[in-house]
Structure 1
Amino acid sequence: MSAVIGMASYMARRAAQKERVRILYRRALKDTLNWAVHRHLFYQDASELRERFEANKHVEDLDTIDRLIGDAEAAYEKMRHPDPYIVPWAPGGSKFTRNPEPPSGIEIAYDYGKEDNE
């Protein structure tokens, strides 16, 4: 019974580690776009990033994996772009809430000047 619990604990920890690595890779890859001026530079940087992640793919020790993830997250936070690109219509973008909704109580008439002849 304890072997089953131990295996379930191991699998849960591995799943959490895989998720942390996936999230870290996606964030780092998206941040690479902020640093690359041209697409051909991005492809080269993305390839190097992938190689850095693949270099530790063979590690099996859970504590070593946690240490590697922590080191990689710290390195990512240190190297993040200070002024990342934000899609204009996303929160923080230049067009976000440029045309805010009208205040409540104000109605928009869609009859375009048509009058009721009743």
Structure 2
Amino acid sequence: PGIIRHRGKIEATITNARVWQDIERREGFDTYLWNFVGGAPVQNHYATHGDVPTWTDTSKQISNDLKKHGFKFCGPTIVYAFMEAVGMVNDHLVSCHRHDAVAQMAVRR
């Protein structure tokens, strides 16, 4: 009961892994993704949780490009959540004690 039983999602996982390998071989998956944000995390300045979007034009662009390469189940909301998780965007609220610290981590020295 704890596993995915949707055949399409299982097949998509295999397809996505193959597409990932192709992008990784060509240019590096990290390079591919970071090119969408100019090589540095997007520093947002949201005041409330309601201000934080569930997707952005950039996540939509990445989603569309991934789909063009053959990825499945990677809509703009999933892509934006991924971008947040891996640090491509700083969505800490400006009132959060981590906002400035996370922003400083993105400064290249």
Query: TM-score, length-normalised on structure 1?
Result: 0.28
Larger Rg: 1
Return the structure number with greater relative CO, CA threshold 8 A, min gap 6.
Answer: 2
TM-score (norm 2): 0.30
